[in-house]
Amino acid sequence: MKQQFEIVIIGAGPAGLAAAHAVAASGAAIAVIDDNPHAGGQIWRGGPQHSSDARAAQLWSALSQANNVRFFNGAKVLLPSAPGALLVETPDAAFTLGYRKLILATGARERLLPFPGWTLPGVTGAGGIQALAKGGYPVAGKRIVVAGSGPLLLAVAATLKQRGAQVLAIVEQAPLHQVARFALALPATPAKLLQALRLRAELAGIPYHMHSHVLRAEGDEHLTQVLLQIGAKQQSIACDYLACGFGLLPNTETAGALGCTIADGAVQVDRWQQTSVADVYCAGEGTGIGGVDLALAEGRIAGLAAVGDLAQAARHVAGRRRWQGFAARLARAFALREELRQLADPDTIVCRCEDVRHRDLQQHASWRSAKLHTRCGMGPCQGRICGGATDFLYGWSQDSVRVPLTPARIGSLIAADSQE
Amino acid sequence: MNCRPDALVIGAGIVGAACAAELAACGLTVTIVERHVVGGGATAAGMGHLVVMDDNPAELALTRYSLELWREFVAGRKQQNEYSPCGTLWIAADAEEMAAAAAKQATLATHGIGCELLDAAALYRLEPHLRPGLAGGLRVAGDAIVYPPKSAALLLAQAQQRGAQLLSDDVLAIDAQGVTLASGGRIDAGLVLVANGVACAQLLPELPIQPKKGHVVVTERYPDFIRHQLVELGYIKSAHAGSGDSVAFNLQPRPTGQLLIGSSRQFDRSDTTLDLPMVSRMLAHAAQFVPQLAQLKAIRCWSGVRAASPDGLPLLGPHPGLQPNRTNVWLAVGHEGLGITTALASARLLAAQITAQAAAIDILPYLPARFPAIIDTAPAHA
Amino acid sequence: MPDAIAPETITLFINDRPLTVAAGTSVAAAIAIGGNPVTRLSVTGMPRAPLCGMGICQECRVTIDGQPHQLACQTPCAPQMQVWTAPYKEIT
């Protein structure tokens, strides 16, 4: 079955919703696909109508009233089936979506680095536990250490605290002077400064350690404590959860499958958010990590450009530039220290899908060699988790993007042939 | 680095690695040149099926001999090769194919290869997920599966233990003394053994090797879903087609519990970009035999290129050309879909000819000289 | 206007034991609420639980209503849903 739209937007997070809103006024038939049960992406997870961010509620209100915007939730893009067409799978069906213009707003995932014990139940990503908690994961009364890198750790700690968790510490790998420089530059983005001050108030009483990282997660079949490097000293903390993430990585796989140019791990776009492939745009974290404000600006520009309204799109360029500056400051401040490459010991699992250890991988010269000879990357995560780790640990970049982009029912792949 | 090895092997796929191991075992100094990842070409793209094939007597002799060698090779190393003696179950969809199964059984039995004819009831007892309405099948219990890249690496390691050296480089041309390399250097060698699959046509354009593209899909883990490698007897009809795209039912249970789904054939396509309509067609065909396949999850699809020869038999032996840049060239190419199965026998037959020893089976059917055209069309100069 | 009032709670079965959760709860959350967050055993038998929370890591694979390899973190609980985690695989 094929459904044809003027504009298809992949991703219903801030960038996708901003793009949809920008396009909606034109009256064009729009489809927004998202693989989660509700729109909102990660930062507005659970539905933008429930978010505390007023912009989320505004966008959602406008979009739910627009009768030319169709949402497909729980929908995963399997592959580009033909020029201008995507094969999509939902829990019950598979169908083709046709588009004249495509906007990729596929967001980001966490960079999860291996360390001893990281595969224990109870160890999650930082964004990971936030996502889980928003889905009802029981965190009230649980003792949680939040670790890794980036301002996301603070947002996560705040979410956890609001839900009744006992956040024992926030462990940031970046050194104090870098974090301080970032903080001092916040007045350039008053909204961010306000957000930071609010967070600081909310998190008062929770130790925030810089130049610090996790050494080991310990426990038998579940996490019971973590060993931390706090500055020059080591400290053990008993806890129920360790939420550890080292920044974000753009989700570039769909763009790669479409043939878009990817450089430095991000989708390359021009000033109108257009990729190297005609009629394909990219907005939000996919073009480079920059947070919700940049995503909204890019989404607006992509949407307006996609319907040909360059004059309106141009009005948002200055705002985008400001948020790009913020993104650059963010990247510099929270760059990963070299020592983190030593976190994994020889026995540490690097590929979780196939249980491949650090010592099995070190001898290989490339991603492909490792994959063929150790099975690293051959599991259902399709190299998304281990790829970030092996890039950081060994400097490997992955070979070409493989389809399907996500594990797909064979019936869906069979259906691809009969679509018109 | 060996400064003038007795043998320079081009290609560290399973055939090249097996040849290197065998020649080193015979006491030759060997250098193997591989331009990408060991076992990373067609060796990695295929299904790793070790199967006795009886389309013609020469094919039967070669596959049978090679399977004996495989059994010796994996003894004590089963896990390293991810060897699984699952056997092959040839599926007969109708009376005509059942007759073919019976004929196959007779041929194999004559050659001492254990197999049993199955009626429909027996077929479904063994493989309950097959669709109803099939006629029966033939079970060849001695067939097995391996994971070829690991086997290639093991063979290479064996070669290296015997003094062989691996060079990461690309061969640009073959001349009277040896080869020139992409890195700018050259290696003089006593002989050059070409074992690089379809790429042999770049070095030796006169060879009658044609690309035949195939696709494979691998699933998530579904342990015990099927127990044998399932192949339709109708496969033979498609494998012998002279032209045109075709698919055939070929389903393999890997030791991990994953399923490998094949197979497809496209002539003269030497790129490995995925052909989605072919994949869909191949999967639809497979689902006709095992309907529940449609519910299973595929996690990856890929394609590879087989090196096909005009008569379906590999070229194993000396290049018959008389020109200086061909007189010391040996060939181990054109294995099409039987490269894994026949790699070990190919290596033995090459080594026997090179060292002037008696071979275990008649080498005549595989000699490159059977294609007289390649003698004349080989270029005089590199 | 919805046709029916959506339930505020949902009862489902985790490894054959009934559990009642708030509507909108993910299957991953329900499993954890049930007491043991382990969703699967790794290929070498190690217990695993959700990691990324967003449908990427595949650690939350469970069997739902007879279908294996479903991502618990992206699946909302539904009434009478039958969920089996790997340590307690349903014997079919």
**Residues in B touching A79 (Cβ below 8 Å):** 276
Between chains, do A369 and B38 touch, taking CB under 8 Å as contact? yes
pLDDT at B79 over 90: no
Interface of C with B in 44-63 (CB under 8 A): none
Extract the tokens encoding B240: 């012998």
Residue range A253-310, pLDDT digits in tens: 999 999 999 999 999 999 999 999 999 999 999 999 999 999 999 999 999 999 999 9
Q: Which pLDDT score, from 0 to 100, does residue C90 have? A: 55
Domains of chain A, by residue range, sit at: 2-109+249-330, 112-246, 344-394
Where are any strands of DSSP class E within B88-194? 88-92, 116-119, 136-140, 144-145, 165-168, 171-174, 178-181, 186-188, 191-194
pLDDT at A224 over 70: yes
Residue range C24-72, pLDDT digits in tens: 999 999 999 999 999 999 999 999 999 999 999 999 999 999 999 999 9
Name the minimum distance, in Å, from the CA of B253 to any CA of chain A.
16
Between chains, do C68 and B256 touch, taking CB under 8 Å as contact? no
Q: Which of A378, A404, A415 minimises the CB distance to B301? A: A404
Residue B258: in which H helix or E strand, if any? strand B258-267
Between chains, do B256 and C43 touch, taking CB under 8 Å as contact? yes
Residue range B211-236, pLDDT digits in tens: 999 999 999 999 999 999 999 998 76
Percent of chain B with pLDDT over 70: 96
Residue range A331-374, pLDDT digits in tens: 999 999 999 999 999 999 999 999 999 999 999 999 999 999 99
CA distance B365 to A363: 42
Q: What is the CATH number of domain A112-246?
A: 3.50.50.60
| Predicted TM-score of the model (pTM) | 0.95
> How many other CB atoms are found less than 10 A from the CB of residue B57?
12
Q: Which of C38, C47, C50 minimises the CB distance to A132? A: C50
Q: First CA to last CA across chain C, in angstroms?
A: 41
pLDDT (mean) for A84-111: 97
pLDDT (mean) for B93-100: 95
Residue range B99-134, pLDDT digits in tens: 999 999 999 999 999 999 999 999 999 999 999 999
Q: Which pLDDT score, from 0 to 100, does residue A403 have? A: 92
Residue range A112-141, pLDDT digits in tens: 999 999 999 999 999 999 999 999 999 999
Between chains, do B299 and A372 touch, taking CB under 8 Å as contact? no
DSSP-derived pairing of the beta strands A101-104 and A241-246: unpaired
**Residues in A touching B149 (Cβ below 8 Å):** 372-373
Domains of chain C, by residue range, sit at: 59-92
Between chains, do C24 and A136 touch, taking CB under 8 Å as contact? yes
Q: State the average pLDDT for chain A.
A: 95
Residue range B179-204, pLDDT digits in tens: 999 999 999 999 999 999 999 999 99
CA distance A95 to A112: 33
What is the ipTM score, two decimals? Answer: 0.95
Q: Is the peptide bond before B208 cis (omega within 30 degrees of 0)?
A: no
Name the minimum distance, in Å, from the CA of B373 to any CA of chain A.
38
Residue range A45-59, pLDDT digits in tens: 988 888 889 999 999
Q: Which pLDDT score, from 0 to 100, does residue A402 have? A: 86
pLDDT bin (cut points 50, 70, 90) of residue A420 is very low
Q: Which CATH number fits domain A2-109+249-330: 3.40.190.10, 3.40.50.300, 3.50.50.60, 3.40.50.2300?
A: 3.50.50.60
Q: Which pLDDT score, from 0 to 100, does residue B380 have? A: 60
Q: State the average pLDDT for chain B.
A: 95
Q: Which pLDDT score, from 0 to 100, does residue A398 have? A: 87
Q: Which pLDDT score, from 0 to 100, does residue C92 have? A: 43
